[in-house]
Amino acid sequence: MPALKILQLTDLHILPQAGDKMLGIDTEEYFQKTLAHAHAKHGQFDLILLTGDLGQDPTADSYRRIFRHLQTYQTPCLCLPGNHDDLELMEAELHSDFVSCRKHLLLQNWQIIAINSQKCGSPVGLVSQEELAFLAQTLRTHKMPALVAIHHHCVLSQSSWMDTMRIENGEELLALAESFPQVKAITCGHLHQELQTTHKHIALFATPASCFQFKPLATEFALDMLPPGYRIFELFDEGELQSSCYRLPISMHDLQTNVHGY
C-alpha cells in the first residue's frame, strides 16, 4: 500500500475582508498560492491538515472563504484552532463531507488526532484536562500509529519571545504522549518557522506559516524574509514517517519588516 501523503498548512491569518492586508501582504492570496503550489508540485493528498490561526480577528465570512478555497481540492481537510481563532465559528463554517473540525481521523492504518491548545483570551497555549483525557482515551482505544496535531509548540524553540507563548503544560502533554509507543510524531504551527527535533521516541515538528515568517533565534518580535511554506508528511504502513518543508519560490518584497508586532 502506498504511503499516506498529508499536507500541513498553518497560521493563515485570513483577514475579515477579502483583499485586506496585514504587514503589507494579502494573507488570503498567499494561502491560495501555497495550496496551489503544494498540489502542483506534489499532486493529490490524502489529507490537508490546518493547524490553527486560520483567521486573524476571525468572522464567519473569513472562515467561509477558507472553506471555499479548501473545497476546490475535494480532499479531506481537518482544521484545528489556534489562539487567534474562534472555535465556535470554525465548527459552524468549516463543515462538509470534506472539510471539518473533527478531532480524530483514521486513515489506512494510521490515526490523526487533533488537540485544542487554546487558552481563552491568551496567546499562550494550554492543553486542558479534558483534552488530555481525550488524547489518553483515544490512544488506549486505537493502537495504530498516531500523528498528533496541535497549534502551540510544547518544547523550547530558541526563539525566547515565542517560547513565552508555548504550551504551559507542555511537559504534561509530552509525558502522556511518551507513555504510548504508537505516538510517532507531534506537529504544530504557531512559531511561523520550521522546527524539527525529538522527545524520546516522538518526532516533534513545527511548520512555516502560509503568510509571514518569524526570524529564528530571536529574543523579540522580528520578521524573516523567507517566503510562505508548508510541510508534507509521508506515513508508511509499518509506522515510519518522513517529513519535509517546502516554500513558495517568491520574494517577500511587500512585507513590512519595520514593525514591532501585529
Q: Each residue of 220-236: pLDDT tens digit?
A: 999 999 999 999 999 99
pLDDT of residue 2 exceeding 90, the answer is no
Smallest CA-to-CA distance from 196 within 157, 146, 151, 165 is with 157
Pairing assessment for the beta strands 202-206 and 195-199 based on DSSP bridges: antiparallel
The answer to whether the CB of 211 falls within 8 A of the CB of 31 is yes
Per-residue pLDDT at 221: 95
Q: Each residue of 47-90: pLDDT tens digit?
A: 999 999 999 999 999 999 999 999 999 999 999 999 999 999 99
CB atoms within 10 A of CB 164: 9
Average pLDDT, the chain: 97
Per-residue pLDDT at 1: 75
What pTM does this model have? 0.97
Structural domains present in the chain? 4-247 (3.60.21.10)
